[in-house]
Amino acid sequence: MKKTLTKVLRISAAIFLSAVAFSCKQTAADAVWYNDFEESKAAAAEQGKNILLFFTGSDWDTISQSLAANVFTSDVFLKKVASKYILTQLDFPQAEGSIAEEQFMKNYDVANSFTLEGIPTVLLVTKEGYVISIIDTTADIESADAYVKTITSFNKQSDKIVAASKKMDKVEGIDKVKQIDTFADLLDSSYRYLLSDLFSQIADLDPENKSKLYGKYLLQLTYPKAMETFSSGSPDEAVKMFIDIAEGGLLNKADTQEAYYSAAYLYAQSPNSDNTVVLDYLSKSYQVDTESETADSILQTMEYIKSSIEAEGAAEKAAEKGLLGDITLE
């Protein structure tokens, strides 16, 4: 009798646990999608998670619609992704009145901050809004399994980023500089400009550059300042910013080469640019490291500009000759 009762209890317990598991299974209706980025960042900070950010055109873009229908409501997505990330959808519908104008403009500002190239775009970002990776939307989105596999391939990296962010918040001084460096290296380097608020702390945290890391981020800090200065109508000052850090002795070879090249590029865009000056900056860039990965490309650019200078000189001589030919002596 005792054995029978024990067996019944075990079976009952198994049935109960199965029922609980079934009732707790997440459905598409259960998944929470935020539609405001600031709210999703707050939720991510509170829950210690990263964010899946989906820029969509819900009523006009077929790929967005396919992602929503085939991937983001699938069982595999709900099981493997929805519980790990704060899900956020920023919509850009075309139908009038389908979204509040204020929210549309907020979505636009977020898209602009990520220099969005098109709709749809799917990003994995941190609670601070730094990009972990962009998820390809040209992949096989008809297959939820394949798309989810792409997302979950970043799980380990995502976990490392959460841990690094927590540690970064707990330390100060040189230790924080080192942790900022660790954190930044885990993120997508294409979106480094978003980390300028972090990088700008390094000079104050380590004024004597004991970590030897200030130079590593000096170039990244210079880009937004130089572009703002250039856009405000001071191209020479913007170019000087790159020259100053190139000659300041804090940058490594690769960054010094890039700084000179950036000076050349920016100067070439200025209203009164001179090809000989551009060539000089490029030459300095090339001479920093003639064996670097970018050296051949710099050299090719130099050759092109040299040929342009020669062509301009020939054109001037031809014009002078033609002008002299028009003069008749009486």
SS3 sequence of 16-72:
HHHHHHHHHCCCCCCCCEECCHHHHHHHHHHHCCEEEEEEECCCCCHHHHHHHHHHC
- Calculate the alpha carbon distances from 278 to 54, 182, 227 in Å: 41, 36, 18
**pLDDT at residue 68 is higher than 80:** yes
Among 18-22, 51-55, 96-100, 226-230, the range of highest mean pLDDT: 51-55
CATH superfamily of domain region 213-320: Tetratricopeptide repeat domain (1.25.40.10)
What confidence score (pLDDT) does residue 61 get? 95
What confidence score (pLDDT) does residue 216 get? 86
What confidence score (pLDDT) does residue 140 get? 62
Helical (H) or strand (E) element with 296: helix 295-325
Edge-to-edge strand ranges of the sheet holding 50-56? 33-34, 85-91, 50-56, 121-125, 131-135
Average pLDDT over residues 288-294: 96
Is residue 286 within 8 A of residue 325, CB to CB? The reply is no
What confidence score (pLDDT) does residue 53 get? 98
- Average pLDDT of every residue of the chain: 87
**pLDDT at residue 23 is higher than 70:** no
**pLDDT at residue 24 is higher than 60:** no
- pLDDT one-digit tens code per residue, 87-139: 999 999 999 989 999 999 999 999 999 999 999 999 999 999 999 999 988 76
**pLDDT at residue 11 is higher than 50:** no
**pLDDT at residue 274 is higher than 50:** yes
- Read off the pLDDT band of 49 (50, 70, 90): very high
Give the three-state DSSP class for 211: coil
The ranges assigned to domains in the chain are: 30-159, 213-320
Count CB neighbours of 132 within 10 A.
Answer: 21
Query: Please, what's the b/e burial string for 197-218 (b: 16 or more CB within 10 A of its CB; e: otherwise)?
Result: ebbeebeebbeeeebebbbbbb
Q: What is the pTM of this model?
A: 0.73
What confidence score (pLDDT) does residue 2 get? 38
**pLDDT at residue 15 is higher than 80:** no
- Residue 128 tokens read as 């601070």
CATH architecture designation of domain 30-159: 3-Layer(aba) Sandwich (3.40)
